[in-house]
Each structure stands twice: as C-alpha cells, then as structure tokens.
Structure 1
Amino acid sequence: MFAAETVVTPPGRPARLLRSPIARLVVFFTLLKLFQWVAGEAWTALGLPPGFVPFRDTTLVMELLRLGPIVLAYALLVGLLERRRVDELAPAKAAPHLLLGLMGGALCFSLIVATLWALGAFVVDGVNRDVDWVGRILVMGVGAGIGEEIVSRGVIFRIIEEGLGTWAALLVSAAVFGGLHAWNPNATAWSVVAIALEAGLLFGLLYHVTRSLWVCMGAHAAWNVAQGPFYGIPVSGFEQRGLLASHMQGPTWLTGGAFGAEASVVALCICSLATSVCLAVAIRRGSLVPPPWRRPGTQPG
C-alpha cells in the first residue's frame, strides 16, 4: 500500500505580506516599543532612579529591564512570525562561539591599543585598584553585546540581507549602528562615520560568515570591556575609570579625542583589515547574497 501524499498548502497573500522583510522589521520595532513601555512602568513601580543611571550604579535588575524587551521582541519575531528555530542563538553554540568572540574582540582592541602605545599616543600612568567592574560590565559588556547585536545584526542586517542582499544589509545596518552613537557624549560627525565603518561593517560581516549572534555578542562585549574597564579609554564618548590609569596624547585623528579610540584612524585601519578578512572568506565561500533582481529565477520587469 502507498502512503497518502502530503499536500502542502502555500501561505496565503496576507501571511506572505506579514512575513515580508519590511513587515517583519515593523513588527519587531512595534513589539520592542510596546515591551519597552511595559518595562518602563515596571522600572517606575520598583522605585528605580529616573533618567540616565551611571554605569557604576547599574544593577542586574536594571539591565534585565533594558534587555528584556529586546530579547522578548526577537523571540516573538522568530518563533511566531518567522516560525523557525533561532539557529543564530543555538544553545549548543553558546559557549564555544561566545569564547571565540570574546577572544577576538579583546585581541582586536588590544592590537589597537598596542599600536597607539607604539606611536606614543597611549600612555599608562599607573593602576587603579578600586574599579567598579560589575555595573560597567553589565552595561558595556552584557547590555551592549546582547541588545545592540540583536537589533543591529539579528534584526536589521539579517532581514535586509534576505530581502535586498548582503551589500545593502551591510550598508544599512552599519549606517544605523553608527547613527545610534550620534547622541553619545563627545560624538562628532567623524566618530559616527568611524563607528559605522569599523564596527558596523566588521560585525555585519562577522555575523554573515559565522551566522552566529553569540560570536558577535562576545566580540562586542569584549571590545567594550577591554576599552573602558581595562584600558581606561572612553567608550563611545563615555569617560571611563579603568584598571589602567591612562591618558592619550597627540592629534585627535590619532587618539580619537574625547570620544575615545573608536574615533582613531588606527582603529579604523585595524578593523578594516579584519573586515577585509571576513569579506574574503565570504567571497571564497560564495555566500554573499545578491539583490533580488540578480537571483536565479527572477524575471526582469
């Protein structure tokens, strides 16, 4: 006897529209705003301080209320709308991929600092033994690593790449990532461009070649923690007191000025080399996603 043939009914037009790249972006950011409002109400109900909270005063509860809306909105986007497993956050990959990202991020920023030191721009004055590690790691490591990577790479890059291809996804996600830092203290037009080019492009291609948010989260977190709590360099414009008591000297184009080493041409050059390596891997694999009008089976017009 032959088994009955299973007939798969394609989704209707409303379902297809709802799962389109534009619709998914709208759904995610709508959910995010809704959950952030709920988290804000919880923040007030718990009597937490309003406005900006210094990094050193941030608690685990505060960071959970900041990250919760992002994680929940992403989980609903993937689980209910996209109806797939969250392969980019697979639990089995968490430990090895996080470790790989942490090592890569720390190594990359340490190479930047070593270059600045060799050029006489980075000077160590001593050691601070009373650094407030917990709050800074929660905000710059856990918060930035998880929250910014889910939004920038997990949502914007991934969905735009699916719809418009890898190059469009890189440009848009990098521009958004740079723009998110435009309102930071001591930000300038150059610092926004530098962040977009060095970190926006690098993390976008890092996600493309690994298909792992764990790697990106680890690299982002280690970059920030190495920069501020360890080397004592301002992180994206926010002044830091690190384990190393340090200061910069020299022209702003070399040191990055008050914004920090992320606005230095040294960081831009070193990150661009790492970006080029990731791009070479993608080209060799043939994994770059073409725009829709260049995909097989696409009819012109």
Structure 2
Amino acid sequence: MKKKKSENKEKRQNGRNLSARSSFWRFPIVWMIVGAIGIVLIDTLFRRLTEQVDGLISLVFTLVMGFLAILAYKLTLTYLARRSTPEISSQRAGIETVLGILTGTIFITGSAFIIMALGGYSFQWASSADSSSVLITSIEAALGAAIVEELIFRGLMFQAIDKLGGKPLALAVTSLFFGVAHLGNTGATLYSAFAIALEAGVLLGAAFLWRRNLWFAIGLHFAWNAIEGLLGIPVSGHSAAGLFTVKVNGAALLTGGDFGLEGSIVPVAVSLLISIPMLIWTARNRGVEARNLPVS
C-alpha cells in the first residue's frame, strides 16, 4: 500500500514537472527568443556561404536560407508556442507576396520621385554597371533581409507581445525595436531611427495586421530594399551599386543624407498615408467580427 502511494506521488510530481517545463517553453518571450536565435543562426551561416560564391548560386543559397528560416519559425510556434501558423500558410501566399511587392514598389518609387521633384535627387544611368550582376545582388540582399526581419519582428516579436499585451502594444514595441535595430548602420542618427520606426515599423506592422499574413509584409519589405538598391540609393545606410548613380542635393531632412531615402521626411509622410488606412480597415474589420460573434 505504501509503495502504491509512493508511486502515485511520484507520478503527480513528474506530471507537475512536465507541466512546469511545458509552461516555460510556451511563455511568449521564451519562444520568441528561441525562434529568433534559430533564424539568426541560419541567416549567419548562409551569409558566410554566399560570401564565397557569386551570381545565381548566391541567390540560390539565399532562397535555401529563406526556406530554412521559415521552417525554423514554423517549428518554433508549432512545438514551443503550441499554436498553428496561418500567417505563413501556402494558401494565397503567391498573390499576397505579389500585392506586397506592388505596394512596396509604389511606396519607394513614389517617395523617390517626390524627392527628385523637390530637387533632392537626380539620377543618371550607370553605363558601366553590370546589369545582371546588380539585379541579382539587389534581389539577394533584399530577399534575405525581408524574410529574416519579418519572421523575427512581425512574426515572432509582434505575436509574442500581442499575446501578452494586445495588438496596439505589439505595434508600438516592434516599431520601436525596429528603429533601434538600425541605429548601428552607417549614417544613422536618432532621427533616422525614429523615421525607420514610423515608416517601416508602423507600415510593416499595419500591413501584417491588415492582410493577416507574413507574405504581404515580406513582399513589401523585399520590394522596398530591392528598388532602393536598383536605384543606387543607400539602403538604411548600406551603399548600393545600382543601375543608376544618384546625385544628392539639399538638406538631409529631404534627401536622407548618408543614411539614404529612409532618413528623409518624405517616405515618413507617404508611409503614414498608407499605414493609417490599413490600421483603420483592420479596426473596422475586427469590430464587425466582434459584433458577429454568437452570444453564449
């Protein structure tokens, strides 16, 4: 009898230990950090590999990196957070990515055109540039950054903080961290970090909330960086050998200075014109869904 009681007590203790371990891994900050570390390690490994090769092989490595990063994200949320991942569902992935690319292209080309019209930029075709090499390099750099940063910021961080404090807090915190993450870039200032927080953090967060998937945000982010690179404009302080040479004239508030277009007031204003309607639409949709919920 005593032996049976001892066994039952041991089983209960083991059950509590398993429950405690499970609760630990399911805590949002824990799976957010674990997932982010996994994605960063994959990105770091493949960055070193792509540095050893050129051309299409480098682009292929970036695509493989993206696939593995998405897999790491899915495994983290499935087995640690214990939740499904509809935000990376293959359903409508293609159309959402294309819509994001179109949105990002309109945003960046529109912002660059406004700055050019105000006398801040003048473009000249870089006749000496190797067009195919520039194209592959721009796509590779933009694709890697878009996948990794969106999985971490809008995928892991946004949803972890949403779980703890709701969507408004998640949008504010991820936007702030996104701006801070760019402070170490060439030409960065406190203003450029603030600009990134608004034009990128808020816009990409709003895009994620509006479309309810990461594909749209990844497409938007990809087009943003790729178009900048192709135009020869520094991408968040990183110089780009584009298809054009850019002559910069005027105050840094207009042109962005050494940091590039993101440091300009123009894309900040344009991004808010895009993100605010997205947020309004999201709030209205959630209001309609709440009203349509059955009364228990």
TM-score range, shorter chain: 0.7 to 0.9
Residues 28 and 74 in structure 1, CA contact (< 8 A), matched pair in contact too: yes
How many Å separate the matches in 1 of 2:80 and 2:63? 24
Shift of 1:73: 2.8
Do the aligned partners of 2:104 and 2:221 also contact (CA within 8 Å) in 1? yes
SS at match of 1:98: helix
Alpha-carbon offset, residue 31 of structure 1: 3.7
Change (3 A) 1:145 1:48: closer
SS of equivalent residue, structure 1 residue 92: coil
Task: Give TM-score, length-normalised by structure 1.
Answer: 0.79
Amino acid at match of 2:35: F
TM-score by length of 2: 0.80
Aligned to 1:59: 58
Say if 2:36 and 2:152, in contact at 8 Å, map to a contact too. no
Q: Which of 8, 25, 28 is the equivalent residue of 2:35?
A: 28
Letter paired with 2:196: I
Match of residue 183 from structure 2: 182
Matches for 1:112-261 after TM superposition, within 5 Å: 112-128=111-127, 130-131=130-131, 132-140=134-142, 142-229=143-230, 231-261=231-261
Change (3 A) 1:58 1:207: same
Q: What letter corresponds to residue 213 of structure 1 in structure 2?
A: L
| Separation in 2, partners of 1:16, 1:218 | 34
Q: Is the Cα contact below 8 Å between 2:175 and 2:197 reproduced in 1? A: yes
Which protein has the bigger helix share?
2
The one-letter code of the counterpart of 2:94 is A
**Distance in 1 of aligned mates of 2:242 and 2:43:** 31
1:110 aligns with 2:117: no
1:127-163 superposed Cα distances (whole Å, 9 cap, x missing partner)? 44523221221112x1011111101100001221122
Q: In 2, Cα distance between the equivalents of 1:214 and 1:192?
A: 25
Counterpart in the other structure of 2:286: 286
CA distance in 1, matches of 2:50, 2:201: 36
- Deviation for aligned residue 1:234: 0.9
Q: Which one is further off, 128-137 or 96-105?
A: 128-137
Q: Contact between 2:50 and 2:58, CA under 8 Å: does it hold in 1?
A: no
Counterpart-to-counterpart distance in 2, 1:133 and 1:21: 39
Paired position in structure 1 for 2:100: 101
For the 8 Å contact 2:209–2:279, the answer to whether it is kept is no
> Cα–Cα, structure 1 residues 92 and 29, in superposed 2: closer, same or farther, change >3 Å?
closer
Structure 2 match to 1:294 = none
- Once the two structures are TM-superposed, the CA of residue 245 in structure 1 deviates from its matched residue by 2.6
- Counterpart of 2:26 in structure 1 is 19
Q: Quote the RMSD (CA, aligned, Å).
A: 2.9
Flag the 1:35–1:248 CA change in 2: closer, same or farther, 3 A: closer
Match of 2:87 in 1: 88
- Could you tell me how far 1:92 is from its partner in structure 2? 1.9
CA–CA distance in 2 between the matches of 1:239 and 1:35?
24
Number of aligned positions between the proteins: 268
Task: Tell me if structure 2 keeps the 8 A contact 1:78–1:85.
Answer: yes
Distance 2:219 2:67 in 1: 18
CA distance in 1, matches of 2:97, 2:64: 23
Q: Per the alignment, in what secondary structure is the counterpart of residue 247 of structure 1? A: strand
Task: Tell me the secondary structure at the aligned position of residue 240 of structure 2.
Answer: coil
Kept in 1: contact 2:36–2:156 (CA 8 A): no
- Cα 1:114–1:155 change in 2 (3 A) is same
SS for the counterpart of 1:285 is helix
Secondary structure of the 2:84 match is coil
Q: Is the 8 A contact 1:36 1:66 kept in 2?
A: yes
**Deviation of 1:246 (Å):** 2.3
Mean Cα deviation higher: 69-78 or 161-170: 69-78
- Percent of aligned pairs sharing the same letter: 32
Q: Structure 2, unaligned stretches of length 5 or more? A: 1-17, 288-296
Does the CA contact (< 8 Å) of 2:191 and 2:263 recur in 1? yes
Give the number of the structure whose alpha-carbon radius of gyration is greater: 2
User: Counterpart amino acid of 1:199?
Assistant: A
| Amino acid paired to 1:192 | A
Mapped partners of 1:69, 1:98: distance in 2: 18
